[in-house]
């Protein structure tokens, strides 16, 4: 691979982080075929904090409060929430989430992240999963960061349809369509968030 001049590499690195704030230094290292130290130095020169600080900063930005369940009951760290529209959570797979023999995540953890986020985006005191149509698209491994993105597709009296996509890097690893029953009976029929 041809070596990219430093200024050009830094411009592309900045664009990559702006496009995906959850990208790791290791992923950037592979993308630009440079050492981890080069990535860290580039970030330092550009004033871009490390991943953990970027996530913390996003989490501190104002977002709607979860109404349906206590925040600690949402699986993963909620970093963005727009009630009745969309939400994002991040969940790192640890030793306690994987099978000891092959270090592959147990599916119920991936499902739990998506399901709890689907419930959390509903603007109501009571919201419960009525049904879910789910697909696991690839195995998730120890140490990977799962980013779940929930989009409210429609809301009507007592029912909401929520789509959740879980990605690692640029790859979708889980997809779920949830039907959520909620207690609010006001007549609404809105279309929710987009995938943009």
The per-residue pLDDT for range 104-147, each reduced to its tens digit, is 999 999 999 999 999 999 998 889 999 999 999 999 999 999 99
The per-residue pLDDT for range 116-127, each reduced to its tens digit, is 999 999 998 889
Q: Write out the H or E segment, with its range, that includes residue 53.
A: helix 51-60
Helices within the chain (DSSP H only): 6-19, 25-32, 36-46, 51-60, 107-120
The per-residue pLDDT for range 55-66, each reduced to its tens digit, is 767 665 545 666
**Which CATH fold topology does 6-57 show?**
Arc Repressor Mutant, subunit A (1.10.10)
Percent composition of the chain: helix, strand, coil (DSSP 3-state, to 5) = 30, 30, 35
Mean pLDDT along residues 2-23: 85
Confidence bin at 71 (pLDDT 50/70/90): low
Residue ranges covered by each domain of the chain = 6-57, 62-191
> Per the CATH hierarchy, to which homologous superfamily does domain 62-191 belong?
Hotdog Thioesterase (3.10.129.10)
Cα 154 to Cα 188: distance, rounded to the nearest angstrom: 9
């Amino acid at each position: 691979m041809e070596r990219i001049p430093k200024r050009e590499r830094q411009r592309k690195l900045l664009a990559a982080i702006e496009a995906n704030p959850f990208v790791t230094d290791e992923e950037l290292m592979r993308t630009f075929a440079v050492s981890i130290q080069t990535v860290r130095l580039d970030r330092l020169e550009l004033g871009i904090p490390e991943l953990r600080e970027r996530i913390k900063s996003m989490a501190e930005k104002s977002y709607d409060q979860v109404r349906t369940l206590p925040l600690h009951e949402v699986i993963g760290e909620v970093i963005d929430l727009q009630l009745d529209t969309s939400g994002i959570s991040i969940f790192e797979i640890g030793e306690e989430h994987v099978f000891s023999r092959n270090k592959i995540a147990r599916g119920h953890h991936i499902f739990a992240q998506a399901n709890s986020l689907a419930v959390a985006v509903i603007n109501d005191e009571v919201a419960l999963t009525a049904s879910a149509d789910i697909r696991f698209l690839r195995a998730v491994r120890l140490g990977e960061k799962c980013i779940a993105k929930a989009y409210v597709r429609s809301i009507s009296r007592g029912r909401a349809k929520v789509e959740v996509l879980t990605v690692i890097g640029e790859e979708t690893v889980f997809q779920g369509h949830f039907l959520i029953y909620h207690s609010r009976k006001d007549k609404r029929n809105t279309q929710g968030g987009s995938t943009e």
